[in-house]
Amino acid sequence: GAGVSQSPSNKVTEKGKDVELRCDPISGHTALYWYRQSLGQGLEFLIYFQGNSAPDKSGLPSDRFSAERTGGSVSTLTIQRTQQEDSAVYLCASSPRLGSYNSPLHFGNGTRLTVT
């Protein structure tokens, strides 16, 4: 079946511009996560959504970052007034329910964001 789809796969933007990154999770998955992977670094948690519950935004690095999940499916991560340190690969993942032993994360291939 279809996996997690992210678009665009690559995005180059100028410093100060806003960007929107899109994630289409696997159909039926109730939990959706955003992570950031900087060059040669691990995965940094940003935010997750679980069903109709309030999202956990505790990983967002600044108020320039925000995310929405519409209709319990598609999610958009928005970065306002981008800075060069925002350059990274942004990964989206979904799971059938909030992370547990029998509910692994399924990752998309990410959006590589480059801020010039």
Partner 1 sequence: QQQVKQSPQSLIVQKGGIPIINCAYENTAFDYFPWYQQFPGKGPALLIAIRPDVSEKKEGRFTISFNKSAKQFSLHIMDSQPGDSATYFCAASPFDTGRRALTFGSGTRLQVQP
Sites of contact with partner 1 (CB under 8 A): 4, 33, 35, 40-45, 48, 56, 58-59, 91, 93, 98-101, 104-110
Tell the smallest beta-carbon distance from residue 12 to partner 1 (Å): 17
Q: Where are the beta strands (DSSP E) in the chain?
A: 5-7, 10-13, 19-24, 31-37, 43-50, 65-69, 75-79, 88-95, 106-107, 111-115
Residue whose C-alpha is closest to residue 70's, from 101, 24, 39: 24
Q: For partner 1, which is the closer residue by CB, 81 or 102?
A: 102
User: Pairing mode, if any, of strands 10-13 and 111-115?
Assistant: parallel
Tell the smallest beta-carbon distance from residue 16 to partner 1 (Å): 28
Q: For partner 1, which is the closer residue by CB, 14 or 58?
A: 58
Tell the smallest beta-carbon distance from residue 53 to partner 1 (Å): 11
Q: For partner 1, which is the closer residue by CB, 43 or 74?
A: 43
In 3-state terms, what secondary structure has residue 107?
strand
Tell the smallest beta-carbon distance from residue 20 to partner 1 (Å): 19
Q: For partner 1, which is the closer residue by CB, 3 or 16?
A: 3
Asked if 92 and 23 count as a contact pair (C-beta separation under 8 A), the reply is: yes
